[in-house]
């Protein structure tokens, strides 16, 4: 009888071993939870990517004048512009330090997806396609769509987009090129420019007769290229058809990073369209010439 009891006791002990091991494993799973919900700014630094070549949204300069911020991956260069000014406001409100990285346009979304940067503040439209890849904070600007041509071009007198039947282009990977240009009947759409400066240079050198962009970019271009003319067809009945998502400019964060998105929105939600436009005016006023 004693032997039977002893065997039962041993059997019960053996059965409890895996159960105890399973219980011991729970803290490890729990410890992984905070990492899954990491915001990226636990170190107190907000790392932001932009092109640093898209005035007045962002640009690079050789010094820290007008509040420019060092570019971490470009020694001796500093970033400034509307995007930098916005990033600084977000950091001031949340007690973060700001770090700027310069990346090509097509590298921006992948960088926030893989965690190389915490956010992209680079004049991105809040499109449904992008929203499948990242989450958006904002808007932090509302940008209407316009065109630019040379002041001495026959297109300078155009009253609507239907009259822009000429060589046109815009920047690669933007709604300007993918959505707006195809709406111009009989336009001869040229290959997309890799960057906003390249787009403007194509117009300046006569490679194209017209480019499509947004209002802030066009206003900034007129400072650098006074021989250009802005074509705004709003309320003409012959304008581009765009949705709110295409002209609302937002900040990309990693999909599911709700904490960071909410922290940014808590600041942006207190700003009006007039506030955004005033800050953009400040950026345009100090953008580099040439």
Note the pLDDT of residue 290: 60
Say what the alpha-carbon torsion angle 75, 48, 193, 230 is, to the nearest 10 degrees: -110
Quick one: pLDDT at residue 8?
A: 39
Q: Determine the Cα–Cα distance for residues 191 and 182; give it in Å rounded to an integer.
A: 13
Q: Would you state the structure tokens that stand for residue 30, as one six-digit string? A: 């729990």
Average pLDDT, consecutive stretches of 10 residues, N- to C-terminus, the chain (290 residues): 42 41 37 54 96 95 97 98 98 98 96 97 94 97 96 97 97 95 96 95 98 94 95 96 93 97 98 95 88
122 in helix, strand or coil? strand
CB 43 within 8 A of CB 115: no
Residue 166 and residue 155 in contact, taking contact as beta carbons nearer than 8 Å: yes
What predicted TM-score, i.e. pTM, was given to this entire model? Answer: 0.78
Residue 209 neighbours by CB under 8 Å, 6+ apart: 149, 150, 153, 155, 166, 167, 168, 203
Domains of the chain: 45-141+249-286 (3.40.190.10), 145-233 (3.40.190.10)
Would you give the end-to-end CA distance of the chain in angstroms? 99
Q: For 67-89, how does the pLDDT look when each residue is reduced to its tens digit (9 = 90+)? A: 999 999 999 999 999 999 999 99
The mean of the pLDDT values for the chain is: 89
């Amino acid at each position: 009888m004693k032997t039977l009891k002893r065997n039962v006791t041993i059997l019960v002990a053996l059965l409890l071993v895996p159960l105890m091991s399973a219980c011991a494993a729970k803290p490890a799973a729990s410890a992984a939870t905070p990492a899954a919900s990491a915001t990226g700014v636990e170190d107190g630094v907000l790392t932001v990517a932009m092109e640093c070549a898209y005035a007045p949204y962002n640009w690079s300069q050789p010094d820290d004048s007008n509040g420019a911020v060092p570019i971490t991956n470009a020694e001796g260069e500093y970033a400034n512009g509307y995007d930098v000014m916005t990033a600084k406001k977000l950091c001031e409100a949340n007690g973060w330090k700001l770090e700027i990285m310069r990346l090509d346009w097509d590298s921006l979304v992948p960088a926030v997806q893989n965690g190389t940067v915490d956010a992209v503040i680079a004049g991105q439209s809040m499109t449904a396609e992008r929203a499948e890849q990242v989450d958006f904070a904002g808007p932090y600007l509302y940008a209407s769509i316009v065109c630019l041509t040379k002041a001495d071009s026959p297109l300078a007198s155009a009253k609507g987009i239907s009259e822009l039947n000429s060589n046109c282009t815009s920047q690669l990977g933007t709604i300007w090129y993918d959505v707006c240009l195809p709406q111009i009947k009989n336009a001869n759409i040229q290959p997309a420019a890799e960057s906003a400066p390249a787009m403007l240079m194509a117009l300046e050198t006569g490679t194209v007769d017209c480019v499509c962009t947004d209002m802030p970019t066009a206003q900034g271009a007129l400072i650098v290229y006074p021989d250009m003319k802005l074509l705004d067809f709003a309320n003409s009945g012959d304008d581009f058809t765009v949705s709110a998502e295409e002209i609302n400019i937002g900040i990309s964060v990693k999909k599911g990073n709700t904490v960071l998105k909410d922290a940014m929105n808590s600041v942006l939600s207190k700003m009006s369209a007039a506030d955004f436009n005033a800050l953009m005016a400040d950026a345009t006023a100090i953008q580099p010439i040439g």
